[in-house]
Amino acid sequence: MKNLNCVMLIDDHKPTNILHKIEIEETGRVNHIITFTSPSEAYDYLQKTNASSYIKPNIIFLDINMPGMNGWEFIEKYKQLDQSLKSDIVILMLSTSTHPKDLENAENEPEVGGYIYKPLAAEKMLKVIDSYLSENTD
């Protein structure tokens, strides 16, 4: 059974990142988990591919409602990245928002691969992993 190499969590609520990291670890199917409480720091990380600590994420779980830079603003900046930096990365919105506009934005945004409601339980993560691997492997 194949594993994902790396998952990135971007959520301003540190306890949520911790909970989701534990759930992802429970799957035993992800080699590395990177967490950020600041979308701008996550964006900076994605640009520093020559850093020794850089691991390209396969999946980015992105919260919507965050101070400073929200999830949609992150997506707008992400679009400016070179295509080589974005290739094979799937962004999934991970939110408690049931606002129809957020769902519509996610459906209409080419950079967004899906919308998942919090919390991210291990069962949901396994479905995401299997879906990603079936779409991005031979």
10 touches 36 (CB < 8 A): yes
pTM: 0.94
CATH code of 82's domain: 3.40.50.2300
pLDDT per residue over 55-114, tens digit each?
Answer: 999 999 999 999 999 999 999 999 999 998 898 899 999 999 999 999 999 999 999 999
Q: Which domain holds residue 113?
A: 4-136
**Side-chain half-sphere exposure of 33, counting CA atoms within 13 A:** 19
Number of domains in the chain: 1
